Amino acid sequence: MAILKVDGQEIEVPDHFTLLQACEAAGAEVPRFCFHERLSVAGNCRMCLVEVKGGPPKPAASCAMSVRDLRPGPNGEAPEVFTTTPMVKKAREGVMEFLLINHPLDCPICDQGGECDLQDQAMAFGIDSSRYQENKRAVEDKYIGPLVKTIMNRCIHCTRCVRFTTEVAGISELGLIGRGEDAEITTYLEQAMTSELQGNVVDLCPVGALTSKPFAFTARPWELNKTESIDVMDALGSAIRVDTRGREVMRVLPRVNEDINEEWISDKTRYIWDGLKTQRLDRPYVRKDGRLQAATWAEAFGAIKAAVAGKTGDRIGAIAGDLASVEEIYALRELMTSLGSPNIDCRQDGTALHPSFGRASYVFNPTIAGIEQADALLIIGANPRIEAAVLNARIRKRWRMGGFPIALIGERSDLRYDYEYLGAGPETLAELVDGKGSFFATLKQAKNPLIIIGQGALTRADGLAVLGNVAKLAGAVGAVTAEWNGLAVLHTAAARVGGLDLGFVPAEGGKAAAEMLTETEVLFLLGADEMDFSKKTAFTVYIGSHGDNAAHVADVILPGAAYTEKSGTWVNTEGRVQMGNRAGFAPGEAREDWAILRALSDVLGKKLPFDSLAQLRARLYAQHPHFADINEIAASEGGDLGALAKKGGKMATSGFASPVKDFYLTNPVARASAVMAECSALARNNFKAAAE
């Protein structure tokens, strides 16, 4: 610990702190442009100058000076730092004046206006007029992709974007070319960026040089209503802020959540919002004469009642989709129970995970933040980069710290960090389980070995056998101890862990999702779009928000609310219970899904015993108490893995393949988004070009 005085106030801070961090700890505000807590120190904006007593008689850049570099006074007094002296003020005013020399005065038409660091700090350190008489510098705007718009005149060369892409995203796409006055931020020959995390450079840019292209000129930050919510595009449950104007979602921004996403979100999370406006189901539809035709709620419910009438419970089925909240899955489960149906499933992709194996068998046990404690990683049948881009950044963060051997079984791809490729499929896994191969020893020697198993290894006919073998491997290398559970199941669907927690899987004698399509007579789809409906024979009721795969083949469509339009609970891949909030109302006659199910139950004569979301939650929490612990992970037993390990059966020989084929088009909302379609096309072309 180091003791120093900041503006006369004595404070003790850890040795590794910089002056800037020490000043912040003492409550002194230090302006900055280039410094960012999660990026390396560049020290090139010079805005964070402070006065150091006993140091050189010039201001010091506080972001780049360590508290260890301070000298004590002649009699051993604590070193002193000042942040408010006239020298500091004059120095910062000088820096600001230089920054503003070449910065255009286009705040009224700049999208950063209102949330611009330069604007804010110019209010504190700017002078009222310019002494600069020459022409301002003009810089050509660069094309760097469909998501990030550039207005390069505004760039102040802080290089945050360059450091982000290189360090966090793990792909050196942006750079600072030229020198001095001619320095310019660009991608190599203005190619589009390819990172799944590129949208974060918009947040990082302290000025309006990099702004959101789809959001350009649509709204001002101060006219938007901000709603804190949870993302459902992947199974991480990243913390987001949904900005709305009226009913319309205008943009999605990340919130800080150190446990999950730090402060990054993937491009799919950020740029999905135009999909919330298009392809929406805003009124009920009933299929008449082979065509879906608009109907009233009463007609739609009537059609369902007629279809259900006289069917026994085992002829009725229900499948919960990937974006559904816990509340609506719970309502659907209660409805199916009252109809006497054992055919319920939340596993559209047919994954082998099952609540009967214990909760530890289907969650990301070590937690996302826990990746930083791991010291060896084996990835089985997953591509974290496209299945959970933010989690992949966390793995990369751990990898950059060093001493983190990573190996992969599955599809070979660029994961933004180096790994040892062990093999394609079950054979390699079997060898590893038998203790062969050097990586077995690496895992065994590691104190906290981490084994990530993805849906690519579990959504196969032999998924259970693979899971059993992985459990066996985890036991063999000591990945499960009293302090550490290194078996991590990586989900791709936001609703999956919640559904499994609710036990939304076929009951005794019930049919699994794939069988239901052909072997039931009435099928309820709660936003389930990711299946092959070509062989479907059942009378299908689709409850969902978007006219996607399932809506096209449905017989009755009941319009539901998208994830920004309802308050709902989601459980992320770690098993963390989180609640999202309603940012706006669903369009037209669409209603929240739990309310649709409640109304439908009344029509079917099986009235569900709740009239409000609060009553629903009260019943839910009574039956499943852990859902009441928002933002917590219910402890799961590690011991039941032993039983799971015995489940091992014969594994097939085909290689593991990630279920996510296209990062940008994984759910109905994304498929309705024009921005995602453009990104997808670009990524496909890049992939093609790379393969050539």
Partner 1 sequence: MSVRRLADEAVQPASFAFSPENAAWAEATINKYPKGREQSAVIPLLMRAQEQDGWVTKAAIEAIADMLGMAYIRALEVATFYTQFQLKPVGTRAHVQVCGTTPCMLRGAEELMDVCKRRIHAEPLQTNEDGTLSWEEVECQGACVNAPMVMIFKDAYEDLTPARLEEIIDQFQAGRGAKVKRGPQIDRILSAPEGGPTTLNGADAEPAKPSAPRSKKTPDEAASIPPSKAARAKTAAAETDPSLKTPATAKAEAAANTKVKGNARDEAGAKSPDDKSRPTGGKKPR
Residues that bind partner 1 (CB under 8 A): 140, 171-182, 184, 186-189
Nearer to partner 1, 418 or 483 (CB): 418
CA atoms within a 13 Å half-sphere pointing along the CA-CB vector of 174? 32
Amino acid at 343: N
Q: For residue 616, what is the DSSP state?
A: H
Cβ–Cβ < 8 Å for 521, 538: yes
Nearer to partner 1, 162 or 380 (CB): 162
Nearer to partner 1, 654 or 685 (CB): 685
Nearer to partner 1, 167 or 411 (CB): 167
Nearer to partner 1, 173 or 263 (CB): 173
Cβ–Cβ < 8 Å for 185, 209: yes
Nearer to partner 1, 166 or 636 (CB): 166
Nearer to partner 1, 189 or 482 (CB): 189
Edge-first strand listing for the sheet containing 420-423: 420-423, 406-409, 376-380, 449-454, 487-490
- Phi/psi of residue 211, each to 5°? -130, 170
Q: How far is the CB of 179 from partner 1 (least distance, A)?
A: 5
Q: 682: which residues sit within 8 A by CB, 6+ positions away?
A: 145, 146, 192
Nearer to partner 1, 191 or 438 (CB): 191
In this structure, are strands 291-294 and 285-288 parallel, antiparallel, or unpaired? antiparallel
Q: How far is the CB of 194 from partner 1 (least distance, A)?
A: 12
Cβ–Cβ < 8 Å for 473, 651: no
Cβ–Cβ < 8 Å for 675, 271: yes
Nearer to partner 1, 80 or 173 (CB): 173
Q: Token digits for 685? A: 């072309």
Cβ–Cβ < 8 Å for 470, 429: yes
- Phi/psi of residue 365, each to 5°? -55, -45
Q: How far is the CB of 198 from partner 1 (least distance, A)?
A: 14
Q: How far is the CB of 166 from partner 1 (least distance, A)?
A: 8
In this structure, are strands 225-230 and 239-245 parallel, antiparallel, or unpaired? antiparallel
Candidates 192, 158, 153; CA nearest to 176 is: 158
Q: How far is the CB of 162 from partner 1 (least distance, A)?
A: 9
Q: How far is the CB of 410 from partner 1 (least distance, A)?
A: 24
Q: How far is the CB of 414 from partner 1 (least distance, A)?
A: 13
Q: 79: which residues sit within 8 A by CB, 6+ positions away?
A: 4, 5, 52, 53, 54, 70, 71, 72, 73
Q: How far is the CB of 165 from partner 1 (least distance, A)?
A: 9
Nearer to partner 1, 3 or 183 (CB): 183
Q: Is 402 left (phi over 0), alpha (psi -120 to 50) or beta?
A: left
Cβ–Cβ < 8 Å for 609, 617: no
Nearer to partner 1, 156 or 657 (CB): 156
Considering just the CA atoms, what is the radius of gyration of the chain in Å? 28
Q: How far is the CB of 147 from partner 1 (least distance, A)?
A: 18
Q: How far is the CB of 335 from partner 1 (least distance, A)?
A: 55
Q: For residue 388, what is the DSSP state?
A: -
Q: Tell me the C-alpha to C-alpha distance, in Å, between residue 385 and each of 260, 517, 546.
A: 15, 32, 26
Q: Give the whole-angstrom CA distance, residue 503 versus residue 490.
A: 19
Q: Give the whole-angstrom CA distance, residue 394 versus residue 488.
A: 14
Q: Give the whole-angstrom CA distance, residue 389 versus residue 254.
A: 14
Q: How far is the CB of 447 from partner 1 (least distance, A)?
A: 26
Q: How far is the CB of 482 from partner 1 (least distance, A)?
A: 38
Q: Give the whole-angstrom CA distance, residue 370 versus residue 573.
A: 13
The number of helix segments (H) and strand segments (E) in the chain equals 22, 26
Nearer to partner 1, 185 or 307 (CB): 185
Cβ–Cβ < 8 Å for 392, 384: yes
Nearer to partner 1, 188 or 621 (CB): 188
Please report how the helices 463-476 and 426-433 are oriented relative to each other, as an axis angle in degrees rounded to 10: 30
Q: Give the whole-angstrom CA distance, residue 670 versus residue 658.
A: 18
Helices in 62-176 by DSSP H: which ranges?
Answer: 86-101, 117-125, 160-163
Cβ–Cβ < 8 Å for 539, 560: no
Q: How far is the CB of 176 from partner 1 (least distance, A)?
A: 6
Q: How far is the CB of 169 from partner 1 (least distance, A)?
A: 12
Cβ–Cβ < 8 Å for 258, 369: yes
Q: How far is the CB of 182 from partner 1 (least distance, A)?
A: 5
Nearer to partner 1, 34 or 494 (CB): 34
Q: How far is the CB of 484 from partner 1 (least distance, A)?
A: 31
Cβ–Cβ < 8 Å for 256, 245: no
SS3 435: coil
Nearer to partner 1, 5 or 154 (CB): 154
Nearer to partner 1, 193 or 670 (CB): 193
CA atoms within a 13 Å half-sphere pointing along the CA-CB vector of 345? 25
In this structure, are strands 60-61 and 49-52 parallel, antiparallel, or unpaired? antiparallel
